[in-house]
Amino acid sequence: MTKDRADDEDEDGRTGTEDRAGRSTVRSLLRLWPYVRPVRVRLFSAAFVAVVASCTGLVFPLVLKWMVDGPVAGHDPAGVWLGALYLLLLGFAEAGLFGLRRWLVARPLAGVEAAMRADLYRHLQRLPVAFHDRWASGQLLSRGTTDLMLLRMFLAFPLTFLLVNGVTILVGVAIMLAQEWTLGLVLLAPAGPVVIVCWIFERRYSEVARRSQDQVGDLTTVVEESVLGIRIIKGFGRHRSQARAFRELSRTLRGTELAKARLLASIWAVIVTLPELAIGAALVLGTVQVADSHLSAGTLVAFLSTALALRWPIDSIGFLLAMSQEAATATERYFEVMDAAPEEPRGSGDSAQVPAGGRPRGSAVRDAALLGTGAAAAARPSAAGRDAGLRFHDVQFRYPDASADTNPVLEHIDLHIRPGESMALVGATGTGKTTLTALVPRLHEVTSGRITLDGRDITAMPREELRELVAVAFEEPTLFSATVGENVLMGGNDDAGRPELDRALAVAQADFAHALPQGTATQVGEQGLSLSGGQRQRLALARAVVGRPRFLVLDDPLSALDVHTEAAVEAALRRVLAETTALIVAHRPSTVLLADRVALLSGGRIAAVGTHQELLRTNAEYAHLMSGDEEAHR
């Protein structure tokens, strides 16, 4: 279910209200400048065109003044028609300029949104697993969709029209003061109260807008989890409780949206009412001045027409400020993710993932491996004999968000898997077996100690090279909404093709893929749920072995297979294990027997290392762990 946002928003990177209070809307929105800068010429041109179009509208009152004081007062029909022509031409000019503004901003702003979305997705791929463990997927999804849509809308409309309307109001006020300064001062009287109301509105609306956008993320999470977990919901008849949870979140979001509407209605009432009262007062005062012959009728018409022309720029202040606040909170939410620290390279790390030749350095090793074991051996770098293979040197691990006084999940791990050797990792549930395997491809970083591959510290390797050398298969297989072939070949290099795919499927006993409606081109659907658990696990195993990796990490890869399929997979897997260095998390004796040696993990430490038979004779804990399955195996 969704994470409790009320407990501590800062734990998953979402900024609290107190932190946001110190940041202005302008300062938040300025962070968009690197994305806007490439299209700044078109945006500035669009803003200039919009200003000209808006100011063109202020020429209408001046034409009306000329018509009233001239042709109308002089009973000149030709002059009236000429004035009407002027107004028509001004109308066409204004419409054309606004159309040009929209054309200027449409394409570049779509590009800005696409660039920001691409950067967000790219950054998410580089963030550590610990980040994704803390964040609800719906929160990330809403930042990449709803928030970016709000930013595009802000750049397309409010950003421009806050400037345009501001210039229009200044020019309009100047025209009115030039026509009759006493009436102009009457219309300026509400300016002070309106500014104060806008300042109060901005602060309050910012908090409510942020809360609303966070709640949209929570609601998105619920929908996503309900769709992905539909089998569980239906299987346990929990549709009512899920619907109840959804309704509660929807009701909460509805309340927040209503609070936004109330705030917007409040500022709109003030912004609309005060200028209307000022226009009414100016109308009365102007009529008296016309009656006393202190003001011409044309001037009064022009003055009131200008005032009415300014109604839209003034009335729009409320929702333009509201959209700006929503854009500011969307910007904060976007950069909360972008500011999260990616996986640290540490040492030489990721500083040179792709050399000058244009291919990852690990590709040479993998290409040699595809030629056969002899070529693969020739491609392996020389290393000191005692450090060759996969080695853990006094490794300790504690989750990054765990307090310093908690016991490490793993400590004093010293383990050596020699080149070409397979080692089974056995232990009770919760002893840290999966966590240990995640350290090898650096899905988590060791807290202390080091892990070496053929004598090279993995933290000194570019991650791309490391993850070409190490292939993994997890107990919970994850498949993507792609074809069977694409899912399997994801574990190979870019040159892997049909021969590698067929070989990997054969090793994993996944020949069922050829019998699917479109064979290996069959779409497996989201999460691969159109397949059985055993089929998904075999495809995940095929993905791990398709690239003939030098190091193989398998987390209980056969748990979902029946006895006969497991035996067939094990027979084929033995040939693969003979060509690689492997660490295999195992729970069954049948899986343990695939390995040359066994390591017993107990209490976060390596308690014993030996062959399966040796540990059965000498270690009571190991014998107990194997006893249930051992009897069944016999």
Kindly state the average pLDDT of the residues 67-94. 78
Kindly state the average pLDDT of the residues 68-79. 74
316 plus 424 within the same structural domain: no
**Taking the model in full, what pTM does it have?**
0.69
Report whether 408 contacts 398 (CB < 8 A).
yes
List, in order, residues 6 or more apart from 459 with CB less than 8 Å away.
346, 347, 349, 442, 445, 446, 450
291 plus 431 within the same structural domain: no
Among 297, 313, 338, give the residue marking a domain's end: 338
**Is residue 450 a part of any domain in this protein?**
no
**Is residue 516 a part of any domain in this protein?**
yes
586 plus 496 within the same structural domain: yes
**Is residue 556 a part of any domain in this protein?**
yes
334 plus 424 within the same structural domain: no
87 plus 230 within the same structural domain: yes
Residue 231's pLDDT band, with cuts at 50, 70 and 90, is low
Kindly state the average pLDDT of the residues 339-360. 51
**Is residue 518 a part of any domain in this protein?**
yes
pLDDT(178) > 70: yes
CATH (domain of 601): 3.40.50.300
436 plus 334 within the same structural domain: no
Instruction: Check residues 176 and 17 and name the one with the higher pLDDT.
Output: 176
Q: How far is CA 92 from CA 277, 302, 312, 457, in A?
A: 32, 20, 19, 71
Among 296, 316, 338, give the residue marking a domain's end: 338
Instruction: Check residues 60 and 625 and name the one with the higher pLDDT.
Output: 625
Specify the 3-state DSSP secondary structure of 471: strand
What is the pLDDT, as a whole number, of residue 392?
A: 92
Average pLDDT, the chain: 78
Kindly state the average pLDDT of the residues 192-213. 82
332 plus 424 within the same structural domain: no
What is the pLDDT, as a whole number, of residue 385?
A: 59
**Is residue 553 a part of any domain in this protein?**
yes
What is the pLDDT, as a whole number, of residue 345?
A: 55
pLDDT(18) > 70: no
Kindly state the average pLDDT of the residues 441-453. 88
In terms of Cβ atoms closer than 10 Å to its own Cβ (0-12, 13-18, 19+), residue 341 is: exposed
pLDDT(608) > 70: yes
List, in order, residues 6 or more apart from 322 with CB less than 8 Å away.
205, 209, 260, 263, 264
Least reliable range by pLDDT among 49-58, 66-75, 426-435, 591-600: 66-75
Work out how many domains the chain is built from and give that number. 2
Residue 628's pLDDT band, with cuts at 50, 70 and 90, is low
What is the pLDDT, as a whole number, of residue 560?
A: 61
Kindly state the average pLDDT of the residues 94-99. 81
Instruction: Check residues 79 and 390 and name the one with the higher pLDDT.
Output: 390
469 plus 596 within the same structural domain: yes
Residue 498's pLDDT band, with cuts at 50, 70 and 90, is confident
Nearest to 14 by CA among 123, 98, 138, 114: 138
Least reliable range by pLDDT among 15-19, 263-267, 547-551: 15-19
Bridge partners of 610, per DSSP, are 598
What is the pLDDT, as a whole number, of residue 17?
A: 41
In the chain, the amino acid numbered 550 is: R
Among 272, 307, 338, give the residue marking a domain's end: 338
Beta strands at 390-397 and 470-473: parallel, antiparallel or unpaired:
unpaired
**Is residue 477 a part of any domain in this protein?**
yes
Kindly state the average pLDDT of the residues 160-165. 81
166 plus 257 within the same structural domain: yes
pLDDT(576) > 60: yes
**Is residue 582 a part of any domain in this protein?**
yes
CATH (domain of 138): 1.20.1560.10
pLDDT(268) > 70: yes
Edge-to-edge strand list for the sheet holding 448-453: 410-417, 390-397, 448-453, 456-457
What is the pLDDT, as a whole number, of residue 630?
A: 41
48 plus 164 within the same structural domain: yes
**Structural domain of residue 286, as residue ranges?**
23-338
**Is residue 543 a part of any domain in this protein?**
yes
